Structure 1
Amino acid sequence: MKKINVLMCCSELSVKGGMVSVVKNYLNYEHWEYYRIIYVPTHTEKNKVILAMYFLIAYVKVLFMAIFSSIKIAHLHTAERGSFFRKAILVRTLKKFGVKTIMHHHAAEFEEFYSNLSDKKKLYVNKTLEMTDLNIVLSQRLVSMIKDKAPNAKVEVLYNAVPTYATNPYNQQSKNVLFLGRLGKRKGTYDLLSTIKMIDLNIPSDIKFFLCGDGEIEEVKKKVKDLNLGHRIAYIGWITEEKKEEFLHQTCINILPSYNEGLPMSVLETMAYGIASITTNIASIPEVVFDDVNGYLVRPGDIESLSMKMMEILTNPSKRLSFSKEAHELITGSFSLEKHMFNLKSMYDELVGEVND
């Protein structure tokens, strides 16, 4: 059977972040059956001039493929701001060639982005959402993010997913605390540092914190120095996939005190490894982390609660082990890559059926 071409667009694969992590899972997947993924990156982390030229070149490639390569589906990964508008241009172009379009929404700050638009641009966004054949969101809570703006838009939920392990790989002897994400205010990095300062004298001396990510690395290092926390911080900066595996094996708990999120890949990745999270009760997170069952939830910016939960879990090995078991079982049963891919291919099947009707 001749394979069906699916155009997929996101950032360059060297760009760091959860959205690219999702795309890498797709590109590394070996069982697409009768679908062929053709990847065209439309974004790079350079200055605006280079980015504009990069997108223009990508647009020409997409246009060429729409005319000559029998593209049936375009799977467009999008965030907010420029990411959304670039994908909106592609949606409008590809629809003219009969290509079925998917906007896969990963935005953590879509509501803020939308609220700051002019009425004219809001109308443009609304029409784009309704024009798109399928809008994919990361959780049930995010359906209204689309429907409140575009009531006629077609929306389906597809939870992020990660590779899973048949047996729980959690290291019960681990001592480290992991922060995995872009360093900065939005992810709550500075709240975490303030919390470490609060509990410093009350937790075992051998517990170390690994702040793994890109972003405001120098600012974070300065804050660590200002708070005199050098003895607690073992690492600051981005890590490779190989290094991540090493760190996960030595991690007892994951901390992500974010203010804005979609469905964080770092929470899913660590839970798959049997590492429970202390994170915030925002966006899609409460559909994965259940308070006092497989982790802890706090309000964004609530340093007092964050410090209490960190103290409790860092001084209670049996609680960590109980959370680990629940976290691993949930991800293995409901957020495996295999289940995710089955659901995604079912969405493709439906769109291809519409093409052939």
Structure 2
Amino acid sequence: MNSNIKSIVIVCPTLDPNNISGVSSVARFIIKNNRSVTYTHFEIGKKNHEKGGLFRILRTANNFKNWILFLREKKGCIIHYNFPITRKSALRDPLFMTISKYYSCKLIIHIHGGNYLQNNETPFWVSWILKGIFSMQTPIIVQSQTEKHIFENKFGAQNVYSLPNCIDLNGTICFERKINIDRPLTVLFIGRIVEAKGINYIYEAFKILKERGIPFYLIFAGQEEKNNQFINKFVNTFKEEFCYKGIVLNREKDELLKKSDIFLLPSFYEGLPLSLLECMSFGLTPIVTNVGSISLCVENNENGIIIKDHNSDNIIEAIEQLHNDRNKLYQLGNKSMEKIKNLFDPDKYILKLNEIYDFWN
């Protein structure tokens, strides 16, 4: 990396480890591992349990005022702007990015999934805004070659770079997964507990599995966007077969992954979720929907099981299959672990990221 790049502004939600944002986790990983750069954090985005409505509007307005003051001091700086393509972000972030160009700042836009990424029914006004942003002569970081083609074809973007999310693998170095021959399968969901993650379909699937007498232990880790939206229903229905862990971090998270058999994510849209990479690195068998860039890591019946979104029957099928065939569970889990260890290298990730930063030199 060129020696004249010493400081970069990184824009994302709070860096507090207790924040469940995947975007924040990616930013923390970058700041921790990129020793060639001094990062200055500017916070934009939702916090855990933050109020919506008028409160959110006022907070965004205050953020925008602070952003302008910040840019006056940092005029001409390089900005690593993390951008999930959701409705709220599409309304807010293009304005922040556009005003940064007025202050001669040099943008790198880092995409983190979102429901408008692969949605063919994107509203006209959203498409118009996004095409305006992505047509700027600025580097755009995406999670896979699939996303790269989408940005080039759908939004007419140039200078698009594929750089899949990465994780630290230190906790998995000495771990060896043992086959679960006869214990009930431990199924883990970890992440934001919101409808778009397929939570209602998980509930319907496990309700039927319970009725069929299939033993299981279902664990949720993360946080609800709205208090008591889902957790109470799971507790009341599944009793001792369900456990809610809340937010898990560091060693507690590692121990949870070691004890779990399956990672379940029937999400409606994603980028490349860190939770998937972390769970696969510990040899959990992923049961996931083929959305975003998940296919980069998971190949159906090779190192996991791909299911349809909005479909509880597929979840039931996959769980029953692995319940009845423990050798397959073990083989898929080991192959998922191998995939992550072979595919992801933090040093190579940072090297490629710094090459993208060099676009502006």
TM-score class normalised by the smaller sequence: 0.7 to 0.9
How far apart, in 2, do the equivalents of 1:112 and 1:204 lie? 35
Q: 1:259 aligns with which of 268, 271, 283?
A: 268
Aligned-partner SS, 1:178: strand
Partner residue, 1:336: 345
* Contact preservation (8 Å) 2:235, 2:243: no
Q: 2:186 aligns with which of 147, 159, 176?
A: 176
Partner residue, 1:306: 315
Structure 1 residues 103-122: aligned runs within 5 Å:
103-111=109-117, 115=121, 117-119=123-125, 122=127
How far apart, in 1, do the equivalents of 2:213 and 2:262 lie? 14
Deviations 1:261-309 (A, max 9, x none): 1112111110111212011122211221111111100111232222121
Partner residue, 2:234: 224
Q: Does 1:137 align with 2:142?
A: yes
Aligned-partner SS, 1:229: helix
Q: Does 1:17 align with 2:24?
A: no
Partner residue, 1:100: 106
Structure 1 residues 23-62: aligned runs within 5 Å:
23-29=27-33, 31-33=34-36, 35-45=37-47, 46=50, 47-62=55-70
Identity, in percent, stands at 20
Aligned-partner SS, 2:253: helix
* Contact preservation (8 Å) 2:145, 2:162: yes
Q: 1:166 aligns with which of 173, 179, 200?
A: 173
* Contact preservation (8 Å) 1:168, 1:325: no
Aligned-partner SS, 2:240: coil
Deviations 1:123-149 (A, max 9, x none): 332121111511111122222432234
Aligned-partner SS, 2:333: helix
* Contact preservation (8 Å) 1:171, 1:252: no
Amino acid corresponding to residue 230 of structure 2 in structure 1? V
How far apart, in 2, do the equivalents of 1:292 and 1:8 lie? 38
Partner residue, 1:89: 95
How far 1:327 sits from its partner (Å)? 1.0
* Contact preservation (8 Å) 1:109, 1:260: yes
Q: 306-315 or 231-240: which moved more? A: 231-240
How far 1:12 sits from its partner (Å)? 1.4
- Residue 170 to residue 219, structure 1, CA distance change in 2 (3 Å): same
- Residue 128 to residue 90, structure 1, CA distance change in 2 (3 Å): same
How far 1:100 sits from its partner (Å)? 2.1
* Contact preservation (8 Å) 2:266, 2:287: yes
Partner residue, 2:259: 250
Q: Does 1:292 align with 2:301?
A: yes
Amino acid corresponding to residue 38 of structure 1 in structure 2? T
Amino acid corresponding to residue 42 of structure 1 in structure 2? I
How far apart, in 2, do the equivalents of 1:281 and 1:310 lie? 17
RMSD, aligned CA: 2.6
* Contact preservation (8 Å) 2:139, 2:158: yes
Length, aligned pairs only? 344
How far apart, in 2, do the equivalents of 1:245 and 1:275 lie? 12
Q: 2:327 aligns with which of 318, 343, 346?
A: 318
How far apart, in 2, do the equivalents of 1:118 and 1:280 lie? 27
Aligned-partner SS, 1:156: strand
Aligned-partner SS, 1:235: strand
Q: 2:8 aligns with which of 3, 6, 30?
A: 6
Amino acid corresponding to residue 25 of structure 1 in structure 2? F
* Contact preservation (8 Å) 2:214, 2:320: no
TM-score (norm 1): 0.86
Aligned-partner SS, 2:187: strand
Amino acid corresponding to residue 360 of structure 2 in structure 1? V
- Unaligned 5+ segments in structure 1 are none
- Residue 23 to residue 125, structure 1, CA distance change in 2 (3 Å): same
* Contact preservation (8 Å) 1:162, 1:272: no
Deviations 1:17-43 (A, max 9, x none): 2111111111222x432x222211123
Deviations 1:46-79 (A, max 9, x none): 4224422441254035313423xx62x2110011
Q: 94-103 or 339-348: which moved more? A: 94-103
How far apart, in 1, do the equivalents of 2:356 and 2:263 lie? 33
Deviations 1:177-207 (A, max 9, x none): 11012223211112112211222265664x3
* Contact preservation (8 Å) 2:9, 2:40: yes
Aligned-partner SS, 1:7: strand
